[in-house]
Chain A
Amino acid sequence: MQISNHKDFNAGLLFILLGISTTVLARSYPIGTAAKMGPGYFPFILGFMLTVLGFVISLKNLSKGRGVRKRALIRFRPVVFVLSSIVLFGLLLLPLGLLLSTLLLILISSMASDEFKMKVAILNAFVLLIIVLIIFVYFLKFQIPVLPAFLGGRT
């Protein structure tokens, strides 16, 4: 047995996993009858469908023939830096305010690139800060704290 297409096979596995967990979770809601469908009815059917689809996709790629070995290229640097910069922004926006959290977001996310240069990133952060302040804070008056909370930062 050989896996002919890893991407398809894994996608099938993902569908099976999500399908089964939905089906299980959906059981905790009343299923009801066709005339009076409960909140569990629709997700239960969907979960079941997804599981079946997942099996079909995975099994189709479990053939005897020699497979095209298609494996995805994964590099950790972009994923880690981009995602952590967003999470951190969420964590810091309220306590630190817009100014500092923007600076951090730009710096950290810039590190995701192979062409990262500290100077460019800092300059970029300042330019963007000015744009953000003009458009969102001054002009559109978004309800976002600008200064850190400990400096009495309110919108």
Chain B
Amino acid sequence: MELLSNLALGFQTAISPQNLLYCFLGTLIGTVIGVLPGIGPVQTIAILLPTTFALPPVSALIMLAGIYYGAQYGGSTTSILVNVPGEASSVVTCLDGYQMALQGRAGAALTVSALGSFVAGCFATLLIVLLAIPLSELAFKFGPAEYFSLMVFGLIGSIVFASGSPMKAIGMIVLGLLFGVVGTDITSGTQRFSLGIPELADGIGFVPLAMGLFGISQIINSLEQKEKREILKTKIFGFWLKKKDLKEVAPAVARGTLTGSLLGLLPGGGGILSSFISYMLEKKVSHNPESFGKGNICGVASPESANNAGAQTSFIPLLTLGIPTNVIMAMMAGAMMIHGIQPGPRVISSNPELFWGVIVSMWVGNLMLVILNLPLIGIWVKLLTVPYRVLYPAILLFCCIGIYSVNNNIFDIWLTAILGFSGYLFVKLECEPAPLILGFVLGPMMEENLRRGMLISRGDPSIFFTRPLSLAFLLMAFAMLVVIAVPAIHRKREEAFHEEGEEG
């Protein structure tokens, strides 16, 4: 039983007093920065990275990992309570989480997101232990054609984010794709739409975009109409989940966990993409999709499980292959390299205590997080009784500080103000920002892989249809389009008949 001895080694490493302490510190910091809007794991890890250079590499990685998945726990809190995403990957949680809070079910929403994250965290850890190496091979199957088709699938699916006019939702997706074009073109190196501003060479940052469109514009809107806040204050139901909720939520958590675990493996994946795609899927399989966006508990459970699972499985490519799939993993690679450990397939044999220790620590960390978070729920819900006039300046402050510290650049603060104004405008025009955000995330990957695919095939588009995996995604996208379009056409006809009847 090699696995058992490996796990034993992992436990031995992870529960040494020092590592337990750093694991706790990491998850605690993660929860805090997750709750604080605008401040996410990217800048926190960047800032704390140098200080971990003094620690042994195992402790450093355990702590940094704790910050990353801890933030996934904390992020949902702010989304649910004040409709401002606490963290980039909890943008989707705003949609149904805040609606639940308005209905007095903030406690249930918080509980389900903590439990969902815990289940997802445990499952993802198990997955890493059992299947890390075979799973890491999955990423190799994805060439430009597969990526492009996956993105097409994701974009068509994103129309479900619309609760109003689907035409406007498509418009917002296209606008999101355009926002994603800003900056240095990966294929040609050209600066596009950067208006000569060097800060825009890296494109519009995700944090300013999410905070502007969701955070700032939400604050302005709440200030315009204060009645909504009052409901929130008056009735708050129990924190615990009812039996009926549990039954409804369990499959959603399972689906979210699975989606997140798989997407976390892909370059560019991780928490954000996982949460969006799982929400999309959940709405598609649901019996009453129209209740999404109006406080459906599955709309919280699934993306919250997915972002935690995705955050954890994104360690697989780094630990087994040395391939960082997102910015945070690239910083983890840096943390290993400064200690003279080359991330890569050799880590498992040359530093087994590091590999297994970090993995087991994730399970330990998830346990700590759920213990830390469940009792906090009562306190968080009390936060709703804090007058809004005190709360919103605090949100603004944390947003500003967080956004500045991503790049230590003032420009990002101004960008957030501009995007906040755009977000306000969108709300006034009843255009929903969620499809825009998804278009923004998927667009660059879609364009990049479309062009790469056409370059490699010398302009022959059949590359997208002849590869089985790519074809499968395209067929799924087509099927989804039919499913979306058919009822719409149907409804149109019915409406037409209706009107004629009434008119006559």
Contacts and interface: CB of A to CB of B under 8 A. Distances in A.
- In the complex, is A directly touching B at CB under 8 Å? yes
B192 interface: yes
Nearest to A141: B47
Contact of A39 (B188, B389, B390, B459): B188
Nearest to B51: A141
A93 interface: yes
Interface of A: 7-8, 10-11, 14-15, 18, 22, 25, 29-30, 33-39, 41-43, 46-47, 49-50, 53-54, 56-57, 60, 72-75, 77-79, 82-83, 85-87, 89-91, 93-94, 98, 102, 105-106, 109-110, 112-117, 120-121, 124-125, 128, 132, 135-136, 140-144
Nearest to B182: A43
B174 A39 contact: no
Given A8-B429, A86-B396, 16 more contacts: A35-B458, A37-B455, A50-B178, A54-B171, A56-B167, A78-B224, A82-B420, A86-B414, A86-B416, A90-B414, A90-B417, A102-B397, A105-B397, A106-B397, A124-B390, A142-B401
Contacts of B479: none
Residue of A37, A114, A144 with most partner-chain B CB within 10 A? A37
B387 A115 contact: yes
Interface in B86-127: none
Contacts of B447: 42
A15 B397 contact: no
Nearest to B421: A83
A132 B192 CA distance: 37
B171 A33 contact: no
A47 B414 contact: no
B292 interface: no
B204 interface: no
A59 B429 CA distance: 16
Interface in B347-389: 387-389
Given A11-B168, A113-B392, A140-B48, A39 B429 contact: no
Contacts of B459: 33-36
Nearest to B186: A39
| 8 shortest interchain CB distances as A-B pairs | A35-B459, A90-B413, A78-B223, A11-B429, A39-B190, A72-B428, A113-B389, A39-B185
B300 interface: no
Contacts of B451: 37, 41-42
B171 A15 contact: yes
A43 B193 contact: yes
A82 B174 contact: no
B430 A11 contact: yes
Contacts of A50: 171, 174-175, 178
B408 A143 contact: yes
Overall SS of chain B's interface: helix
B73 interface: no
Contact of A105 (B167, B220, B393, B430): B393
B209 interface: no
A114 to B, nearest CB: 7
A90 B221 CA distance: 22
A36 to B, nearest CB: 6
B192 A43 contact: yes
Interface residues of B, number: 69
A93 B410 contact: yes
Contacts of A143: 47, 405, 408
Contacts of B393: 105-106, 109-110, 121, 124-125, 128
A135 B32 contact: yes
17 contacts: A30-B190, A35-B454, A39-B192, A42-B450, A43-B181, A78-B221, A79-B220, A79-B421, A79-B424, A86-B400, A86-B416, A90-B411, A90-B417, A93-B404, A124-B393, A128-B393, A128-B394
B21 to A, nearest CB: 15
B29 interface: yes
Interface in B412-470: 413-414, 416-417, 420-421, 424-425, 428-431, 447, 450-451, 454-455, 458-459, 461
Interface in B9-48: 29, 32-33, 36, 43-44, 47-48
A136 B401 contact: yes
B80 interface: no
> By CB atoms of chain B within 10 A, which of A85, A102, A106, A112 has the most?
A112
